[in-house]
Amino acid sequence: MLRGTGAWLALPLLEVMTPLSAREATRQRPPIRLGCLYLPNGSPESAWNAAVDGEGRILSMAENMRPFEPLKEHLQLITGLESELRGSHPAGGATWLIRPAPEGDGINARKGVGGISMDQIAAKALGNETLLSSLELIMKPQGSFSSDILRNNISWTSPTTPAPRETEPLAVFRRLTGEVGAAGEKKRDDRKTILDAVLADANSLKSKVSTADRDKLDEYFESVREVEKRLALAQEDSHIRKQAMLKNTTAPPGGHPENHQEYMRLMFDMMILAYWTDATRVASFMLDHEQSNRYFDFIPEVRGMWHALSHWGDISGKTEDDDGQTAWTSKEVKRQQYLKVINYHHQQVAYFFERLKTIKEGDGTLLDNCLILYGSPFEDGNKHASKRVPVMLAGKAGGKLKTGRQLSYEGQPREGVYISILDALGVHVDKMGNTDKALSII
């Protein structure tokens, strides 16, 4: 770490951190990072597949997966997996990383969700090696069910205890840079950036390391500086909105950009910084809460709320899922708008993967040393089907994951893949829920 007055900044892996004798024998292997990205409201199977050859190698992504086309060699798609959700939105979110309890739709926060989530099993095993055992993110909820415990949590430290989540990029940044104390108070003068605070230590370090390390530090510092600029703009944006809404009884969202894409990408940037500095090796991000009613009218040709659009089989606009004002001219029009919302989120996830791919680490990239799960609890929001659920893996897990292909595990429990994910991290479990059969991802 670099240290300054009231602050510190974790560093990425540098050559100078490896003892000379070890460097001569072999390069230090970077750690594997686990990520779990949750897409609510389902995704139709037709919009979540690829054209493959006879051996399952991905030739091209489906039309609605085009944002991932440049990344197809870094991805693994898995089809045919099932869960036991029986179409429940609350269970869909709460048990996405857990084999749900037998009662399925009867799951509730008081009775429990069936166990500890897969990411938290990894965090318990790996978390003592990092600043944060895990990092849990979620976009600030909007609309109905914004406070529902089951729909807003995928990470569980016990059957009845969700892991604390962060909705504000600035709060995450402060956790990563040591700017807050145990009670959450600020420790650093707002007039200084984190780089200002650790400048003397940074200059001292740069004078002692190789040219390659100096280049890596410059790249890292520039990334930190860019994040700080965007956070400052987000705070200014929040202040302006607050001033305009002083007469409102409800305070506006603060601390993040009003622009949804900028907000989500800042959250992804926080994950990148956390991975890059090895502040944590386990992170989850709910791209929205389950059954999200967020309006996506800012996407061209999209009208209405996300959850309503997912029920594309009814176009009246008068069901309990609708706002009573938005209707559609045909099922296909509504379905295409649903797909546009999914595609929008694919674009943001692809941004995350591309950023990871640009960061050099060891003999490869940061993406090579990640194992990112991306998926949704339903095959289609209109059907609420828990069969053939969408599952994508990204990154090579330090060479353990074979990418650029599509696997099929028809009718097999999704948790079988989770057992293999944990195994790739060096965390061994005998079973998850009711299954002890690992489904190979290597």
- Examine the domain organization and report whether 109 and 201 are in the same domain: no
Q: For 186-218, b where at least 16 C-beta lie within 10 A, e where not — what string?
A: eebeeeebbbbbbeeebeebeeebeeebeebbe
Distance CA 440, CA 294 (A): 36
Helix or strand or coil: residue 227? helix
Which of 41-45, 268-272, 369-373 shows the lowest mean pLDDT across its residues? 41-45
Statement: residue 298 has pLDDT above 70: yes
Distance CA 69, CA 347 (A): 11
Domain enclosing residue 210, as ranges: 187-255
Q: Which of 255, 276, 291 corresponds to the end of one domain?
A: 255
In a domain, 130, yes or no: yes
Give residue 7's pLDDT band: very low, low, confident or very high (50, 70, 90).
low
- Examine the domain organization and report whether 285 and 300 are in the same domain: yes
- Per-residue pLDDT of 132-190, as tens digits, reads 999 999 999 887 888 899 999 999 999 889 999 999 988 888 888 766 543 344 444 44
- Per-residue pLDDT of 42-55, as tens digits, reads 998 878 889 999 99
**What pLDDT score was predicted for residue 58?**
96
Higher pLDDT, 19 or 41: 41
Q: How many domains does the chain have?
A: 2
In a domain, 314, yes or no: yes
Distance CA 299, CA 318 (A): 22
Q: What is the mean predicted confidence (pLDDT) over 31-35?
A: 96
Statement: residue 300 has pLDDT above 50: yes
User: How many Cα atoms occupy the beta-carbon half-sphere of 420 within 13 Å?
Assistant: 19
**What pLDDT score was predicted for residue 303?**
94
In a domain, 173, yes or no: no
**What pLDDT score was predicted for residue 280?**
94
In a domain, 431, yes or no: no
**What pLDDT score was predicted for residue 294?**
93
92: enclosing H helix or E strand: helix 89-94
**What pLDDT score was predicted for residue 432?**
86
**What pLDDT score was predicted for residue 100?**
64
- SS3 assignment for 325-341: CCCCCCHHHHHHHHHHH
Helix or strand or coil: residue 166? strand
**What pLDDT score was predicted for residue 135?**
97
Q: Tell me how far CA of residue 400 lies from CA of 32, 189, 396, 405, in angstroms.
A: 10, 44, 6, 14
In a domain, 18, yes or no: no
- Examine the domain organization and report whether 123 and 56 are in the same domain: yes
Name the one residue in this structure whose structure tokens are 């991306």: 374
- Examine the domain organization and report whether 311 and 352 are in the same domain: yes
- Examine the domain organization and report whether 138 and 285 are in the same domain: yes
Statement: residue 419 has pLDDT above 90: yes
- Examine the domain organization and report whether 242 and 275 are in the same domain: no
- Per-residue pLDDT of 181-201, as tens digits, reads 433 444 444 446 766 766 677
- Examine the domain organization and report whether 47 and 194 are in the same domain: no
pTM for this predicted structure: 0.82
**What pLDDT score was predicted for residue 186?**
46
Statement: residue 284 has pLDDT above 90: yes
Q: Which of 214, 237, 255 corresponds to the end of one domain?
A: 255
For residue 141, give the CATH number of its domain. Answer: 3.40.720
Percentage of the chain with pLDDT > 90?
A: 52
- Examine the domain organization and report whether 247 and 264 are in the same domain: no
Higher pLDDT, 410 or 321: 410
β-pairing, 370-375 vs 33-38, is parallel
- Examine the domain organization and report whether 100 and 214 are in the same domain: no
In a domain, 298, yes or no: yes
In a domain, 203, yes or no: yes
Give residue 251's pLDDT band: very low, low, confident or very high (50, 70, 90).
very low
Give residue 4's pLDDT band: very low, low, confident or very high (50, 70, 90).
low
Distance CA 343, CA 314 (A): 21
Statement: residue 25 has pLDDT above 50: no
- Examine the domain organization and report whether 312 and 416 are in the same domain: yes
- Examine the domain organization and report whether 59 and 34 are in the same domain: yes
Mean pLDDT, rounded, of the chain: 84
**What pLDDT score was predicted for residue 219?**
76
Statement: residue 254 has pLDDT above 70: no
- On the 0-12 / 13-18 / 19+ scale of CB atoms within 10 A, 243 is exposed
List residues bridging with 37 in a β-sheet. Answer: 285, 374
Q: Which of 196, 220, 255 corresponds to the end of one domain?
A: 255
Do the Cβ atoms of 263 and 243 come closer than 8 Å? no
**What pLDDT score was predicted for residue 155?**
97
Which of 73-82, 351-360, 432-441 shows the lowest mean pLDDT across its residues? 432-441
- Per-residue pLDDT of 67-124, as tens digits, reads 999 999 999 999 999 986 666 888 888 999 987 655 544 566 667 788 899 999 999 9
Number of H helices, E strands in the chain: 11, 15
- Examine the domain organization and report whether 129 and 216 are in the same domain: no
In a domain, 437, yes or no: no
Name the one residue in this structure whose structure tokens are 């001292």: 204
**115 Cβ contact partners less than 8 Å away, ≥ 6 residues apart:** 98, 99, 156, 159, 432, 433
Q: Tell me how far CA of residue 327 lies from CA of 126, 310, 317, 334, 342, in angstroms.
A: 49, 13, 4, 9, 20
Q: What is the mean predicted confidence (pLDDT) over 360-364?
A: 90
Do the Cβ atoms of 15 and 218 come closer than 8 Å? no
**What pLDDT score was predicted for residue 241?**
44
**What pLDDT score was predicted for residue 418?**
96
List residues bridging with 19 in a β-sheet. Answer: none
- The DSSP letter of residue 366 is T
**What pLDDT score was predicted for residue 179?**
60
